Structure formats: C-alpha cells, structure tokens
C-alpha cells in the first residue's frame, strides 16, 4: 500500500514553485531562438583559469579544509568582503558577515529568521522573482511598492509601512535593480532607511550588481546608513553563478541565530572554494576583471538599447540602467507581455514577462531583457525579431 502523500505534505508545499513560472520549454520556439532571458555573466567573462588555479592551491595547501569547520565562513573571505563594502561606503565588521550558498541562501535564512504566517512583507514592484519564491511558502501577504526613476516611491512606501500589523521586512534591490534597472538615489536611500527606522521595519537589501556599474559608482549600499539593514551580496554576477558563494551582513545580535540556522541548513559552505575566492578577490586580477566586465556589459547594454530604438521605438519605452544586466521594456497600451510571449517565441525570440516580477503576477505591458549572455550579433538579430513579432502581435490583437 502506498502512502497518501497529498494528505501528509505540509500546507506550505502548495506554495512551492520554480522561481520562473513561465515554462520556456513549452513555448513554440525554434532551435535558433535568441533568449533574452539570461541573468548571468557571459561565458567569455567566466574567470576559469585564475579561480581554478587558486582552488588547486587551496586543495594542496590546506587539505583539512575538507573537514567540518567555520559555519560562519572563512574569516579572510569575510574580511575581503568587508574591505570591498568599505570602498563602496559601507563600514562593516567581518564578524557581522555570514558566508552563504549564494545570495539565494541569504534570502532564505532571513525568511527563516523573520517570517510567520500572516506577516506582511513589502517588496518593490517589480522585484526579483527568487525572493518571492522564498517568501511565498511562509503564508505571508506580499505587497509591492512601485518604483520611479529614483527607486521605490516614498509616499507609497510610507503608506504601507505605517499600516498595522507592521511589515516584517522591506526587501529591496536598490542598485541596478533586477528587473527594472533602476538605482535608488542617494537622497532616496537616506529617506528609505529613515522611514524604515521610524516604523521599526527591517530593510533587506539585495545587492548583487553594485560592483557592475558602467560609468559612475552608485551611491553607497543602504547598510551604510544603518546597522540594522540586512545586506546581502554574491559572487554570482561578478565571478560566476556556479560558485554558490554569497554573504549576509546582519546586525550583531542576529549573528548567532543566523549561524545556527546555517548549520541546520547545510552545516557549512565549501571551505576550499572560500579560500580560493578570498585569494582571487584580493589580487590585482579581480579589479582588472571587473573593469573588463563592466566595459563588456556597458557596450552590450548600449547596443541593445540602440537596436530597440530602431526596432520598437514607437511601441515601447525603457530607461538606460547605470549598471547591471537588464533592460526593462514597457509596451504602450493595455497589453499583457505574457500573452505576447508565445508569438515572439514562435518568431525566435524570448524575454521574461513582467508578471513574473510581481507578487500577484498580474498582467503587465513590461518585460525584462537580459543582455549579458548574448553576443552583439545575436542581440541585433534578436531585437529585429522582437520588433517584428511584437508589431505583428499587437496589430493582430487590436484588429480583433
């Protein structure tokens, strides 16, 4: 007799889902389809050699790192992260940094620490879908605060912060936001931190793109303005997503429960890899690598924006980001980018529809284009396909 799993599973399982709801394998996309869906460094920016060398060195020089140890993370790596944050304006004690399996685990640990059924959670609208994926199984009410060109809208944020019960956290990607590309201005950062303190609501700052500016250093992380900000980052975007090494900066009094939670979750992160990354990011190579990567991303971003101006300048609007991986495109009129996606896929081009980035997954005329993993040639062809497919689909829709 088999067990009745439907009866046995916890209620939260009903809220489990992949971070992207759209199943791209079900779309009618031909084999040569150009996917603007990626959110990772391109293969030519993956620093295989220096990392592989440092890793080999770590294995040879410290085999006991193959044992248990350092649930909080390798101290020299935490020191190196603190030094990098200091250059961006946030002074952090290495003792307040926990090493995690990428920023994703940092979000997961924060949720474990804070969320209970019925809690209110504020996010930006749009926001990173992987955070929604973590929050949803906690049976919380997720509310989105809209963005403008300087970041989250203050009046709407205050309105939602002021309501009872107080939100358990405000999750924000203030710098080169995923997906909207917006960067919160310095003045807005100060105001947001001040509002959150006034209403006693923790800020969770997700900052994976802050080192990837194109021309101008972004304002300091929110953590620079308050020690109560939970600030998380990752080497997924600056080195490689396959590394699964990120960090969480937390208020001192939360470090013990966080380390206990990390131990319960997976005991520790890869200790040898942490040693290799510490060596790599403190070497002169890393700044050269970042400088080269920034140039690649700035060029691709500009190229894609220029191509979009030609191909769908009369159909859509977007803002040029100051860094990061994404262009957020908004079609004119009351259309649903998710409904248009199959038409585009059939024409050999895909994007992530905007509805993926809102907690209510409502239809939206926006979509996200990721430009880092595609060659210039692929982007030009992709933009042309996109313009043609969207034009045809919109004409067809308005004719019905």
Residues 373-392 that bind a copy of itself (CB under 8 A): none
Determine contact, residues 141/135, Cβ cutoff 8 Å. no
Nearer to a copy of itself (CB atom), residue 1 or residue 399: 1
Binding to a copy of itself by residue 269, rule CB under 8 A? yes
Binding mask of the shown chain, residues 164 to 203, with x at each position contacting a copy of itself by CB under 8 A: ----x----------------------------xx-xxx-
Per CB under 8 A, the list member of 123, 157, 254, 277 interacting with a copy of itself is 254
Instruction: Work out how close the CB of 65 gets to a copy of itself at its nearest, in angstroms, rounded to a whole number.
Output: 6
Q: Does 67 bind a copy of itself (CB under 8 A)?
A: yes
Interaction between residue 231 and a copy of itself (CB under 8 A)? no
According to CB under 8 A, which one of 89, 241, 342, 363 is a site residue for a copy of itself? 241
Give least dist CB 18 to a copy of itself, A.
6
Name which of residues 9 to 28 contact a copy of itself (CB under 8 A): 9-13, 16-19
Smallest distance from a copy of itself to CB 187, Å: 20
Q: In the set 25, 164, 253, 398, which binds a copy of itself (CB under 8 A)? A: 253
Q: Which residue's CB is nearer to a copy of itself, number 107 or number 304? A: 107
Peptide bond into 254 cis (omega under 30): no
* Closer Cβ to a copy of itself, 204 or 390, answer by number: 204
Nearer to a copy of itself, 241 or 342 (CB): 241
Tell me whether residue 16 or residue 292 sits nearer to a copy of itself (CB atom): 16
Q: How far is the CB of 120 from a copy of itself (least distance, A)?
A: 12
Q: Tell me the three-class secondary structure of the chain, residue by residue.
A: CCCCHHHHCCHHHHHCCCCCCCCHHHCCCCCCCEECCCCCCCHHHCCHHHHHHHHHHHHHHCHHHHCCCCCCCCHHHHHHHHHHHHHCCCCCCHHHEEEECHHHHHHHHHHHHHCCCCCEEEEEECCCHHHHHHHHHHCCEEEEEEEECCEECHHHHHHHHHCCCCCCEEEECCCCCCCCCCCCCHHHHHHHHHHHHHHCCCEEEECCCCCCECCCCCCCCHHHHCCCCEEEEECCCCCCHHHCCEEEECCHHHHHHHHHHHHHHHCCCCHHHHHHHHHHHCCHHHHHHHHHHHHHHHHHHHHHHHHHHHHHCCCEEECCCCECCEEEEEECCCCCHHHHHHHHHHCCEECEEHHHHCCCCCCCCEEEEECCCCCHHHHHHHHHHHHHHHHHHHHHHHHC
23, 30, 31, 116: residue in contact with a copy of itself (rule CB under 8 A)? 116
Of 148, 159, 187, 263, which one interacts with a copy of itself (CB under 8 A)?
263
| Strands 203-206 and 230-234, bridge-based pairing | parallel
Task: For the CB of residue 267, give the shortest distance to a copy of itself in the complex, in Å.
Answer: 5
* Residue 1 is a binding residue for a copy of itself (CB under 8 A): yes
- Per CB under 8 A, which of residues 43..62 are in contact with a copy of itself? 43, 46, 48, 51-52, 55-56, 59-60
Among 22, 80, 97, 105, binds a copy of itself (CB under 8 A): 105
Total residues binding a copy of itself (CB under 8 A): 79
The encoded tokens of residue 21 equal: 């709801």
User: Considering beta carbons, is residue 55 or 393 the nearer one to a copy of itself?
Assistant: 55
279: tokens are 């060596």
The reply on whether position 102 binds a copy of itself by CB under 8 A is yes
């Amino acid at each position: 007799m088999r067990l009745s799993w439907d009866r046995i599973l916890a209620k939260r399982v009903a809220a489990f889902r992949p971070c992207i709801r759209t199943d791209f394998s079900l779309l009618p996309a031909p084999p040569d389809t150009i996917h603007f869906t990626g959110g990772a460094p391109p293969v030519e920016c993956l620093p295989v050699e220096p990392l592989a060398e440092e890793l080999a060195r770590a294995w040879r020089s410290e085999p006991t790192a193959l044992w248990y140890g350092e649930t909080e993370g390798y101290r020299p790596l935490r020191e190196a992260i603190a030094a990098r944050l200091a250059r961006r304006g946030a002074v952090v004690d290495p003792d307040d940094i926990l090493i995690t399996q990428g920023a994703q685990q940092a979000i997961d640990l924060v949720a474990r620490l804070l969320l209970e059924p019925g809690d209110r959670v504020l996010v930006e609208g749009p926001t990173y879908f992987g955070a929604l994926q973590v929050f949803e199984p906690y049976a919380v009410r997720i509310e989105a605060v809209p963005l403008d060109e300087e970041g989250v809208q203050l009046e709407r944020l205050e309105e939602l912060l002021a309501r009872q019960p107080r939100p358990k956290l405000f999750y924000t990607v203030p710098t080169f936001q995923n997906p909207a590309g917006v960067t919160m201005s310095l003045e807005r950062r100060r105001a947001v931190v001040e509002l959150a303190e006034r209403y006693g609501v923790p800020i969770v700052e997700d900052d994976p793109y802050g080192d990837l500016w194109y021309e101008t250093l972004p304002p300091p992380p929110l953590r620079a303005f308050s020690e109560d900000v939970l600030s998380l980052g990752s080497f997924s975007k600056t080195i490689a997503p396959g590394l699964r090494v990120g960090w969480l900066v937390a208020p001192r009094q939360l470090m013990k429960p966080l380390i206990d939670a990390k131990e319960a979750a997976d005991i520790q992160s890869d200790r040898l890899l942490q040693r290799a990354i510490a060596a790599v990011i403190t070497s002169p190579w890393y700044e050269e690598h970042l400088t080269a990567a920034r140039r690649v991303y700035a060029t691709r971003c500009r190229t894609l924006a220029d191509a979009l101006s030609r191909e769908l300048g009369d159909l859509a609007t977007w803002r040029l980001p100051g860094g990061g991986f994404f262009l957020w495109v908004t079609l004119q009129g009351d259309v649903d980018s998710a409904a248009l996606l199959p038409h585009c896929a059939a024409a050999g081009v895909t994007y992530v529809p905007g509805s993926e980035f809102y907690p209510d997954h409502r239809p939206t005329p926006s979509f996200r284009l990721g430009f880092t993993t595609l060659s210039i040639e692929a982007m030009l062809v992709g933009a042309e396909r996109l313009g043609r497919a969207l034009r045809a689909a919109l004409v067809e829709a308005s004719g019905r």
